[in-house]
Homo-oligomer: A and B are copies of this chain.
Amino acid sequence: MTFDTLAHALATGADATANRAFLATQHSADIAQFLNDHDAEIDWRVLDLLELSRQAEVLGYLDRAMQVELARSASRSRLAAVITAMDADDRADLFNALTEDEQEALLPALAQAEREDIRRLASYEEGTAGSIMTSDYAVLVPGLTAREALERLRLEAPDKETIYRAYVVDADRKLIGSVRLQDIILASPSTPVEKIMERNTRAVGVEEDQEDVAKKIARYDVVALPVVDADNRIVGIVTHDDALDVLTEEATEDFHKSGTVQGLAESVRQASIFVLYKARVAWLVLLVFGNIFSGAGIAYFEETISAHMALLFFLPLLIASGGNAGAQSGTLMVRAIATGDVRMTDWGRILGRETLVAGLLGLTMALAIYGIGLWRGGAEIALVVSIAMVIIVLAGSLIGMILPFILTRFGMDPATASGPLVTSIADVVGVLIYFSIARAVLF
C-alpha cells in the first residue's frame, strides 16, 4: 500500500483494517503531508483510523492553515480532546491561529490545567522565545539522588518533549543548573543531582528574539535551551527541532526581503492573490519613483545623447553592470551579517578588500567591453565606455557593501539591501557617471 492507494481506498470505503495497518508504519510527518494535500473530509477519515495521541502528533505536523480548517470542521468535544493531547507549544500556536470567538468557544471545553497552559503560552508576543517554547519540560530538585531522579524522569517521560536534559530548580523554581540523562545513568545511584549537574547552564529570556535563541541552540549544539523570566524562574524550553524551523523561516524571510518581497509569513503555494499582491506592491511602486532619478539623469544629458546616439547602445550594459556588482557585494554582506560571519565592527577592513576586489572586477569588465566599444563607436567611445565601466562597477560594489551596514546602523533590517534596492541606487549613479565621462571626453 502507498499513500496513493490509501486515497483510493478511503474514497471507495474499503476495509479499514488494511488502512490502519498501513498508517501504523508511516511517520506522522508523512501522514501530515498527505493530509495537507487533501481536504478536511478526507483528513478526518484518516485521523479516525489513528489513536488520539497519534492524531494529536499528526495535527502538530500540519500546515497552520490546514490545522485551522480541521479545527473548524470538528465538533467542539472532539477538538478539545485532540487539542488536549497535542504538545503544549503546538496547541498554543494553533490556538493563536483561531479567531477570538473560536477561542472563547473552545476554552470551556478544556480542563483547567490545559486552559491555563494555553492562555499562558499564547500570551507571548510572536517572534519571541516565549512564542516558540514548550511547557513540557522536566525539572528536578537538587537534593534528589541519581536513582530518584531517574525514577522521576521515567514517570514523566511520556508527557515531556525531551527528558534528555532535565532542569534543576530551587524552591522558587529558579534555574540553578541542568543535568543530562546520560550523566544521571552514568552516576552511581546514590549521588545527589547537585553533584552531577552543570551549573553554568545557558538560559534565554522569555522576551528574547526567536532567531537569537535558535542561533544559540545551533552555536552550542544542544538538544534544548531553558527559557527563564525576569526573576530567573524557568518557564519553558525551546527544542532543537523548533530552532531548525525558526532558522529556515528566518532564512526564507531574508531571502524574500532580498527580492523586495515583504511580510509573506505563509506558504507561497497557499497564499491568496491579495496577500501576494500586498507583499510585492509597496516596494515595486517605491522603486519606480527611485528610477525616476535615473530617467531625470538621462533627460539631463539629452544633448550629449542626441549628438552621440551610439552611447545609448552601452547604456543598459553599463548600468546593469553597476547594479549586478552591487547585488553581488550586497548579497555577500547581508548573508555574512545574518550568519554572524561579519560583525558591524568589521566594516573598515571589509571596505578595503571590497575596493580591491571591485577594482579588479571593473578592470576585467572594462577589458571585456573595450573591443565592443571600438567596433560600435570608435576609439573615443571605447575609451569612455571602458573608464565608465571601471568606475561604475567600483561604485556599485561599494554601495552594495556599505548599504547593509548603514541600514543596520539605523536599526533597520539589512536584508532588503541586497537586491533591487541596491540595483536602483546603482542605476542612478551609473547614469550620472557614464554621461558625465562621455560629456567630458567627447566635447
Chain A residues proximal to chain B, CB less than 8 Å:
25-27, 29, 150, 153-154, 157-158, 163-164, 181-182, 185-186, 200, 202, 217-221, 223, 240-241, 243-245, 247-248, 251-252, 254-256, 258-261, 264, 267-269, 273, 276-277, 280-281, 283-285, 287-288, 291-292, 294-296, 298-299, 302, 305-306, 309-310, 312-317, 319-321, 323-325, 327-328, 330-336, 339, 341-342, 346, 350, 353, 356-357, 360-361, 364-365, 368-369, 372, 393, 418-420, 423-424, 427, 431
Contacts and interface: CB of A to CB of B under 8 A. Distances in A.
Given A312-B295, A324-B287, A220 B29 contact: yes
Contacts of A284: 321, 324-325, 328, 361, 364-365, 393
Contacts of A202: 27
Contacts of A241: 218, 221, 240
Given A259-B418, A295-B314, A248 B218 contact: yes
A268 B133 CA distance: 33
A301 to B, nearest CB: 9
A295 B316 contact: yes
A255 B254 contact: yes
B325 A427 contact: no
Contacts of A323: 420, 423
Given A261-B332, A353-B276, A339 B288 contact: no
Contacts of A350: 268-269
A184 to B, nearest CB: 10
B327 A299 contact: no
20 contacts: A217-B244, A218-B245, A252-B335, A252-B339, A255-B255, A258-B259, A259-B328, A267-B336, A268-B335, A268-B350, A273-B356, A284-B364, A288-B365, A296-B313, A298-B315, A305-B312, A306-B306, A316-B319, A316-B431, A320-B420
Nearest to A290: B320
Contacts of A221: 29, 241
Contacts of A309: 302, 305-306
Contacts of A312: 295, 298-299, 302, 305, 312
B331 A256 contact: yes
Nearest to A372: B292
A268 B336 contact: yes
A423 to B, nearest CB: 7
A29 B285 contact: no
Nearest to A357: B276
Contacts of A273: 353, 356-357, 360
A368 B331 contact: no
Contact of A182 (B163, B305, B342): B163
A164 B239 CA distance: 15
A321 B291 contact: yes
Given A240-B240, A255-B255, A256-B335, 15 more contacts: A153-B182, A157-B182, A164-B223, A256-B331, A261-B332, A268-B342, A273-B356, A284-B365, A288-B365, A295-B315, A298-B316, A305-B309, A320-B424, A323-B420, A423-B423
A65 to B, nearest CB: 12
A310 B334 CA distance: 38
A341 B294 CA distance: 37
